[in-house]
């Protein structure tokens, strides 16, 4: 029916009316099993102006006549509702269409998102739309190839840094817990996709090296996730990250849909390093770096703290001549073991000293490297635009 021009006018009108309905996303049956993605994909392929039309509905935040006007709160809430619905419509169209279908609209899309990211609680639309902006960024990362995603990384990196800084302010945070969780899901997805451009800045947000298990003592944490200090939070059981042989985001759990559990998901103990990858099967907290090793030397500690007068040693016979000769032959083994143990400890000390120095140098140069990488990405995007203009003139 979609290929017939006469019938297309009928179903397209009804579908656009349902798609643009204010309560479209309140439908509990809106899922892929009901075929909505297939229908929206056909609609996007037929209606070429669908994406530019939805992008045109997004307006830049403004404070003119809304801060002290009559009914300011109601007007701001209505603007937030419309903006959030349009952001979700764009995300649905991106996920329904094929990869790179809307590559020509990506620059306009990022321009609109940059405007919405500058919203504050007093603007219209306000910063309450930030969570849906993060949701759309997740859809963008899944709907375009890495070549077309070059221009988004300066905005994504700076926004993630600002997000974790706001998350650290437990009392006067500007964003809601739902927005914080959507930003954490964005970071979770980027870590799962392992995009080459984002891996250059990955160390700014998480620690995936040996420092996650053995945190340095002389230098502080650099990764934004390691700086979180959320009090009064209980750990939430997360998924294993693997389902049916395929990797999945760690935060894709039903707890992320319950308001009471959203802040618990962002606690320091929510994400842990799998203990099976660490010796002695000891549990490790990836944020605090605390590790519970088995007390193999507990007997030695109690022995040193005991009173010599209270120690009762059993009487035994002295060694015979044959046993003395065997004992002299075996003295080499403990000496060799001590030598190897000392060499190992010395090597480990040198290794950790070098690691500490490397960490200090990274901390000093982190900001410069981040600025340089952002400049390189802007230059790269500028070169791509010049190449497109040259091709258009040809």
Highest mean pLDDT among 5-9, 157-161, 295-299, 348-352: 157-161
Per-residue model confidence (pLDDT) at position 285: 34
Q: Residue 229: is the preceding peptide bond cis (ω within 30°)?
A: no
- Cα separation values, 331 from 23, 228, 334, 337, 340, Å: 83, 53, 6, 10, 15
The answer, yes or no, to whether residue 169 has pLDDT greater than 80, is: no
Averaged pLDDT, 317-337:
48
| Averaged pLDDT of the chain | 70
What residues contact 157, with CB distance under 8 A and at least 6 apart?
Answer: 201, 204, 370, 374
Per-residue model confidence (pLDDT) at position 257: 55
Residue 360: strand pairing partners: none
Max CA distance (Å), the chain: 111
Number of neighbouring beta carbons within 10 Å of residue 229: 11
Quick: pLDDT tens for 73-119.
Answer: 888 889 999 999 999 999 999 999 999 999 999 999 999 999 999 99
Quick: pLDDT tens for 204-258.
Answer: 777 776 666 666 666 666 666 666 654 445 555 555 555 555 666 766 655 555 5
Highest mean pLDDT among 26-40, 55-69, 177-191: 177-191
Handedness of CA 368, 228, 190, 92 (dihedral sign): negative
Contact 106, 140 (CB under 8 A): yes
| 123-148 b/e (C-beta count within 10 Å ≥ 16 → b) | bbbbbbbbbbbbbbbbbbbebbeeeb
Residue 162: HSE in the Cβ half-sphere, 13 Å Cα cutoff: 13
Which pair of tokens denotes residue 80?
A: 């937030």
Q: Map tokens 């809601």 to a residue.
A: 176
Residue length, the chain?
Answer: 394
Per-residue model confidence (pLDDT) at position 360: 59
Angle at 310 between CA 304 and CA 313, to 5 degrees: 85
Q: Kindly give the residue spans of alpha helices, DSSP state H, lying in the chain.
A: 5-19, 36-46, 50-57, 72-96, 106-117, 130-143, 153-168, 177-193, 196-199, 259-265, 298-305, 321-330, 332-393
Q: Kindly give the residue spans of alpha helices, DSSP state H, lying in 231-285.
A: 259-265
Q: What is the DSSP code string of 315-373? A: P-PPP-HHHHHHHHHHTHHHHHHHHHHHHHHHHHHHHHHHHHHHHHHHHHHHHHHHHHH
Contact 195, 146 (CB under 8 A): yes
Highest mean pLDDT among 133-147, 209-223, 257-271, 376-390: 133-147
d(CA 251, CA 138): 13
φ, ψ of residue 272 to 5 degrees: the values are -130, 155
**pLDDT class of 184 with cuts at 50, 70, 90:** confident
| pTM (two decimals) | 0.62
């Amino acid at each position: 029916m979609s290929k017939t021009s006469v019938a297309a006018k009928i179903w397209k009108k009804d579908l656009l009316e349902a798609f643009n309905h204010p309560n479209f996303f309140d439908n509990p049956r809106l899922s892929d099993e009901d075929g909505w993605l297939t229908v929206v994909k056909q609609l996007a392929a037929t209606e070429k102006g669908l994406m530019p039309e939805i992008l045109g509905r997004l307006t830049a935040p403004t404070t003119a006549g809304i801060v002290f006007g009559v009914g300011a709160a109601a007007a701001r809430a209505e603007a937030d509702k419309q903006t959030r619905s349009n952001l979700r419509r764009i995300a649905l169209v991106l996920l329904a269409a094929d990869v790179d279908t809307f590559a020509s609209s990506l620059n306009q899309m990022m321009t609109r998102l940059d405007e919405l990211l500058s919203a504050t609680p007093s603007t219209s639309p306000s910063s309450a739309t930030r969570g849906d902006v993060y949701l759309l960024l997740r859809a963008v990362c899944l709907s375009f190839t890495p070549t077309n995603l070059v221009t988004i990384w300066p905005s994504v990196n700076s926004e993630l840094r600002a997000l974790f800084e706001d998350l650290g302010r437990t009392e006067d945070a500007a964003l809601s817990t739902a927005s914080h969780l959507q930003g954490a899901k964005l970071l979770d997805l980027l870590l799962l996709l392992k995009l080459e451009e984002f891996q250059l800045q990955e160390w700014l947000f998480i620690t995936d090296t040996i420092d996650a298990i053995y945190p340095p003592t002389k230098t502080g944490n650099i990764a934004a996730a390691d700086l979180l200090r959320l009090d009064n939070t209980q750990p939430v059981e997360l998924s294993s990250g693997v389902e049916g042989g395929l990797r999945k985001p760690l935060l894709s759990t039903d707890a992320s849909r319950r308001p009471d559990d959203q802040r618990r998901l962002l606690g320091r103990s929510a994400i842990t390093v799998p203990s099976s990858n660490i010796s002695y099967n000891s549990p490790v907290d990836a944020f605090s770096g605390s590790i519970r090793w088995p007390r193999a030397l507990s007997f030695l500690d109690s022995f040193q703290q005991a009173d010599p007068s209270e120690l009762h040693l059993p009487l035994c016979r002295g060694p015979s001549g044959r046993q003395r000769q065997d004992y002299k032959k075996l003295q080499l083994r403990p000496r060799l073991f001590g030598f190897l143990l000392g060499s190992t400890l010395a090597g480990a000390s040198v290794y950790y000293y070098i690691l500490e120095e490397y960490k200090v140098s990274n901390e000093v140069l982190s900001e410069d490297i981040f600025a340089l990488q952002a400049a390189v990405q802007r230059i790269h995007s500028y070169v791509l635009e010049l190449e497109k203009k040259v091709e258009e003139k040809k």
